[in-house]
Amino acid sequence: MNMPGLRFIQFLLEGRLLRNEPVFNIELKDVLGALRRKFYIIIFLTVLSLALSIYYTKIKTVVYYETRASLMVGSYVRDASPQFNGDSIAGVLELMEAYRVIANTSAVAEKIIEKHGLNVTADEIKGLIDAVHQPETPYLDLTFSWVNSEEAGQILDTLIEAYINEVKNIFPASSIRVIDRERNPRGVGESLYRISARLVIGIDSASSATNPPQYRAANISSYQVPEEAFYAIAKTNSVAKKVIEKANLKTSTAFLKGRVSVDLYRNTPFLDVIIRWPDHDEAITVLNGFVETYIDEVKQFYPSSELKILEKDETPQEIVISRDRLYVTAGLAAGLVLSVLLIFAMEFMNDNLRTETDVESSLQLSVIGLIPEERRKFLKSGFGLSEKLSYAASEACKILRTNIYFTSDNARVIAVTSGMPGEGKTVTASSLAVALAQDNKKTILVDCNMRKPDVHSIFKTSEIGLSSILMNEVEWFLAIHKSEVENLSILAAGEILTEPVEALASDHMKYLIEVLRREFDYIILDTPPLNLVTDACVLSEYIDGYILVVYSGKSSRYNTLKAKKLLQFADGKILGIVLNGSKEADICKKYKKLARIQRRRAGKKHVPDAGEYDVNGMNEQITVFPSPKANES
């Protein structure tokens, strides 16, 4: 075995294969390019995620039944001083928000409906009542809107009467007088009239100290019980357990606490207890049990406190809870994020080489050929030279041939190899040999793959070939076959050998190369994959350079770097990279379309067939071989 072969084996044993491997850097332009190439993935996943989120909102719409009870916080006191600080308006102003809220209670609305026999609901009446407090004064303006101008004034009078009675019921010491009232309703829109009245609120003088205890409402914001206490007590386990026991519920305390909420009206003595329950029939039962338990629990913690029930729902209201906007927004965001992550994984976490930029940045070698993937099926048997390829493939082989002329430093003996099988080295070697021969270069294609030969089946030659020469079974000139292509000769692999690496590293092979140099302008060697066997590396001593073949989207960066390192350690000169199955080479198809358009405009009927083009007025037809599919070598 010659020295390159020994050095190669030593290299493997030392495990120095991928030392100083180039670092793969991702730049912003790479990310933007990947997003542009895979934009269809973004559209598909985003639309799919959006559709799923919309469907999820439909099946996840939850119906609850809401019941509400309004409570008032206060205490019973015996005090000789005026209630609510009656010597000044400070006591009134402190509870002015409470007075305003009373105007929009169901108790007031129901009295209006009952007196006038209106065919509307209490909620509709409350929506027509507007109570506005004049800042820093004891004045409150009541406004009522109605569709009939004559009825509007009558209903306003009823509203004032019902309001005063309700305030007196809640705050017995209150004194309310009407100081101004509009006589005629104002038109405020189509078939809608509005009328207002202004009330002044005060406090009656206090009774003597011998009076019995009276209920005093408390401003929750300034009450001795902190606001947080009213929230916290409603969420205690003890309240939940007692409610479950009273209402005979089959649920957990956590679920019950999640269905209960307490709303406090700032600067008022009012709070609302709200129950949202999934069962219509149980909703009122749960509300009654909770209100009773809640009042007792507050009384237990704060004995001076006293809670009164102002009003309570008799029929639960259906509440449909749907988070359409949230789910749709989440679906849209999820689709975008998933698509970007998928593209990132496909483009940057994928170790495969795809583009010319990928190859050159990863291998630090120039790409000298871009061979497009052909649509037609490449058959290893029966593939004739009469097959004409597309314009893109023909132009790609012409470019490869030209690059060999100008970048190889007069390299005449060229080995074509790859890192792994199926990357198109045999087809590349055959196409290059044909292109050189058709340029009047006397060329021979030698099949050095004596493990799995293919050249003889492509060119329909006999199986007598290289192995027979190296085994001294036949003279070299008797094993060479003429092909259908002028200036192209074929030397098949011959019989399969058990130790082909020994034969390729022998002096017979070296002598054969020297003889062929004298007879031919170019010698193209088709060699086995580098990462599987050492056959290609042992040829480095007597050839001029290697062409490393890479298949777009299939050849991994790791395996190709490994092949490059193997050649470098064997002192092999790499002339460049041929990228098979390249999408970038499809630009030639655009040139073809433009050429057809120009010919039509010029009035010429003839359009060159695929594989034909003119050079300096001479019609040249190149017959080359397509880049194979991913499962072909």
pLDDT higher than threshold 60 for residue 274: yes
Mean pLDDT of 19-31: 59
Q: Of the candidates 27, 22, 19, which has an alpha carbon nearest to the alpha carbon of residue 364? A: 22
CATH at residue 500:
3.40.50.300
Q: Would you say residue 533 lies in a domain?
A: yes
Q: Residues 426-452: what's their mean pLDDT? A: 90
We report the CATH number of the domain holding residue 247 as 3.30.70
What percentage of the chain carries pLDDT values higher than 90?
10
Average pLDDT over residues 535-547: 89
Establish if 629 belongs to a structural domain. no
pLDDT tens figures, 173-190? 777 888 788 777 877 665
Listed in sequence order, the DSSP H helices in 270-317 are: 280-301
H-type alpha helices, 20-148: 28-37, 39-59, 90-94, 96-102, 106-116, 122-128
Same domain for 67 and 84: no
Q: Between 434 and 8, name the one with better pLDDT.
A: 434
pLDDT of 25 > 80? The answer is no
- Indicate whether 401 and 464 sit together in one domain: yes
CA distance 182 to 502: 117
Segment of 190-194, 249-253, 593-597 carrying the highest mean pLDDT: 249-253
Instruction: List pLDDT tens digits, range 457-505.
Output: 788 777 788 888 888 888 888 888 888 888 999 998 888 888 888 888 8
Residue 506 clears pLDDT 60, i.e. is over it:
yes
Per DSSP, 349 falls in state I
How far apart (Å, rounded) are the C-alpha atoms in residues 424 and 429? Answer: 9
Q: Could you report the per-residue pLDDT of 351-384, keeping only the tens digit for each?
A: 778 788 888 888 888 888 888 876 444 434 334 4
401 lies in the same domain as 425: yes
Which residues fall within 8 angstroms of residue 153, CB to CB, at 6 or more apart? 183, 184, 185, 195
pLDDT confidence of residue 408? 66
**Confidence (pLDDT) at 587:** 56
What is 137-167 written as a DSSP string? Answer: SSEEEEEEEES-HHHHHHHHHHHHHHHHHHH
pLDDT at 283: 85
Can you give the pLDDT at residue 611? 41
Statement: residue 277 has pLDDT above 80: yes
Q: Are 419 and 352 in contact (CB under 8 A)?
A: no
Calculate the average pLDDT of the chain.
Answer: 76
> Which residues constitute the domain of residue 436?
364-583
Whole-number pLDDT of residue 105: 86
Share of the chain above pLDDT 70, in %: 71
pLDDT of residue 546 exceeding 90, the answer is yes
Phi first, then psi: give them for residue 617, nearest 5 degrees: 85, -5
Residue 69 banded pLDDT, cuts 50, 70, 90: low
Kindly report, residue by residue over 399-420, the tens digit of the pLDDT.
889 888 887 678 899 999 999 9
**Residue 341 pLDDT exceeds 60:** yes
Final residue of a structural domain among 211, 240, 272: 211
Q: Is the pLDDT of residue 322 over 70?
A: no
DSSP conformational letter for 346: I
Greatest alpha-carbon pair distance for the chain in Å reads 140
pLDDT for res 261: 85
Residue 68 lies in a domain: yes
Q: Are residues 166 and 204 in the same domain?
A: yes
pLDDT at 134 > cutoff 90: no
- Tell me, yes or no, whether 542 and 470 share the same domain: yes
Same domain, yes or no, for 185 and 94? yes
- Indicate whether 200 and 233 sit together in one domain: no
| Predicted pLDDT of residue 633 | 44
615's CB contacts (< 8 A; 6+ apart) are none
Q: Which helix (H) or strand (E) holds 433?
A: helix 425-437
Residue 346 lies in a domain: no
Under DSSP, is residue 273 helix (H, G, I), strand (E, B) or coil?
strand
Question: How far apart (Å, rounded) are the C-alpha atoms in residues 507 and 514?
Answer: 11
Question: Which of 211, 244, 269 is where one domain is finished?
Answer: 211
Model confidence pLDDT, tens digit, residues 93-131: 677 888 888 888 888 999 999 998 888 888 889 888 888
Q: Which of 71-85, 181-195, 239-253 has the lowest mean pLDDT?
A: 71-85
Number of domains, the chain: 3
What is the structure's pLDDT at 549? 93
- The Cβ of residue 59 has, within 10 Å, a number of other Cβ atoms equal to 6
Do 427 and 496 lie in a common domain? yes
Report pLDDT for 606: 46
- Report, as an integer, the average pLDDT of 243-270: 84
Q: Give CA–CA dist 195/150, Å, rounded.
A: 11
Task: Answer yes or no: do 138 and 166 share one domain.
Answer: yes
User: Residue 285 corresponds to which tokens in the numbers above?
Assistant: 């039962």
For the chain, the residue count is: 633
Question: 608 in a domain, yes or no?
Answer: no
Q: Is the pLDDT of residue 218 over 90?
A: no
Domain boundary pick from 318, 337, 352: 318
Say if CB 431 and CB 369 are below 8 A apart: no
Evaluate whether residue 516 is within a structural domain.
Answer: yes
More confident residue, 208 or 193: 193
Assess if residue 148 is contained within a domain: yes
What are 572-630's pLDDT values in tens digits?
Answer: 899 999 998 877 655 555 555 555 555 565 654 444 444 444 433 333 444 444 444 44
* pLDDT value of position 36: 82
Q: What is the mean pLDDT of residues 259-269?
A: 78
Task: Note whether residue 423 is domain-resident.
Answer: yes
Is the domain of 414 the same as that of 454?
yes
- Same domain assignment for residues 452 and 574: yes
Do 401 and 507 share a domain, yes or no? yes
